[in-house]
Structure 1
Amino acid sequence: MLVPVTNSCISSLVPTAAPRKRMPLRNSSSVTEFILVGLSEQSELRLPLFLLFSGIYVFTVVGNLGLITLIGLNSSLHTPMYFFLFNLSFIDLCYSCVFTPKMLNGFVSENIISYVACMAQLFFFCFFVNSECYVLVSMAYDRYVAICNPLLYTVAMSPRVCSLLMFGSYVVGFAGARAHAGSMLRLSFCDSNTIDHYLCEVLPLLQLSCTSTHVNKLVFSAVVGAVITICSIGILTSYALILSNILHIPSAHGRSKAFSTCGSHIVAVALFFGSGAFTCLTTSFPGAMDQGKFASVFYTNVVPMLNPLIYSLRNKDVKLALGKTLNRVLF
């Protein structure tokens, strides 16, 4: 008789477990900040790389800001061609400022970026890069109209048309950036927070996610595929028609002038899309992130620095406007 009584006493002393509440499932990231590895982890290369990219950044800011100022101050440059060049310089200046200061900081200290700042950097970088692609298409169309339909140029490239082309470039760029950033925000980053890159870009971030990235890869392929398709058709069609028209120009001087008009834009397009395509191809393969980082330096750092030089070195209008501006300022 003692055993049942003892058992009942013991059981009354042990607290019974309260029913567990069911917690709602959340797709949240436990990572609040990321570490950007940068271009190289070798300490002996940090100072030379810091000096090199500081110089590139200064040239980029001075060159693009100078071209923007020059176009704004000279009424002789208030034409469709320079309107698009003004916006191209503005975009180059902005997207260089989005990541380069943080990149330079990584050469002198541990480069930590918050989750919110990383997502913001991703959005603005994608926005400006996508917008630049469509601005280059608008510039190709402008050259097509100028060479193939010069009599209709003022009508076909009226201020309203130019404004609509630029507005469309920014809207489509915004849509692409929103798609990239929106799909990235749905991911969770659980443990690893080290980004093997010098900026928050789509593919390096996907490698850190602890949730499925299938939707993100589809979004990336769709956005990049649309950019490549639309821009390739627009630029190649414009220049095919321009080439066909140039070959029918009887005088050698006329052909030379037409080629020189398009030459700077062709070089800029080749540099930007060529380096961008190579970066996408290299970073798509496992273990090729290092090659992709160094390839991306070309279209993220070098091309924005070169664009003002490409469009102004052999441009008589820009040189003349620069001379007039310097005379007004100095004398």
Structure 2
Amino acid sequence: MVAPVISARGLRKTFGEFVAVDGIDFEVPPGESFGLLGPNGAGKSTTMRMVGAVSQRTAGELRVLGLDPDTHGPEIRSQLGVVPQDDNLDTELKVRDNLIVYGRYFGISRALCAQRADELLGFAQLEEKAKARVDDLSGGMKRRLTIARALINEPRILMLDEPTTGLDPQARHVLWDRLFRLKERGTTLVLTTHYMDEAEQLCDRLVVVDHGRIMAEGSPSALIRQYSTREVCELRFGSERNADAAARLEGLADRVETLPDRVLLYTDDGEGLLERVARLGLHPTTSLVRRSSLEDVFLRLTGRSLVE
């Protein structure tokens, strides 16, 4: 069997009496795209910092590329690429120089940095912006440049924290394409995201974390099969009628969930359920049948209450 590039057993991190990560277990094999999902404060970023060898664990075992991050931090960090949530590019340098200067931090020769910079500008579709100021780039371009910079040392693991936050749909899809290409090259991706469609697109496997603990683990499709139904029927009767309608709909679906603006019915046959709803004499103002998504799983496991 191929040894995992990341292995955690009973991984725990506390800050005083506050438990940020509460004894989690997971492994990431080489070449996998692995996701950490969870609400704010769930422990995702704390886990990423421990894996990235910039925060020591409180207890448990952790190995990254076969090494202990607490004792071999520099060796591990030299083989990682890190894409933070907020772009931290050097605005005083031109686009290409951002890559070259960053590469020099890893002890890479200037000539090799220049060669890799040109290759990465092509990969990020930024060749025409090589001599441009960073401040003149769009948000999507800055994000692609940040990813290109993280690849200058040819890392074995690329860690991405909310890679497409704040980007428009076109920029998101361009970025997804770049990450797909990295997967095809065999780069291991570890990412956090609040976009469930992004997790479905990018992650081979993921864990859902809440209050520092793993609530579920598996591929997106497997989690949907385990925690949801094939389809979801969304019915709107009006904010004052939804609760009464939901009470009459109990028993028609695997699960009925009442929200302020609509009623969700989880079923394997949405169209058939709509027919049964009509036979009850219930006539929603709008109805929608859609396939279950990772968002349905996420909200079932972590709840719909806002966490700050």
Normalised by the length of structure 2, the TM-score is: 0.23
Indicate the structure whose relative CO is greater, using CA pairs within 8 Å and at least 6 residues apart.
Answer: 1
More helix as a share of residues = 1
More strand as a share of residues = 2
Normalised by the length of structure 1, the TM-score is: 0.22
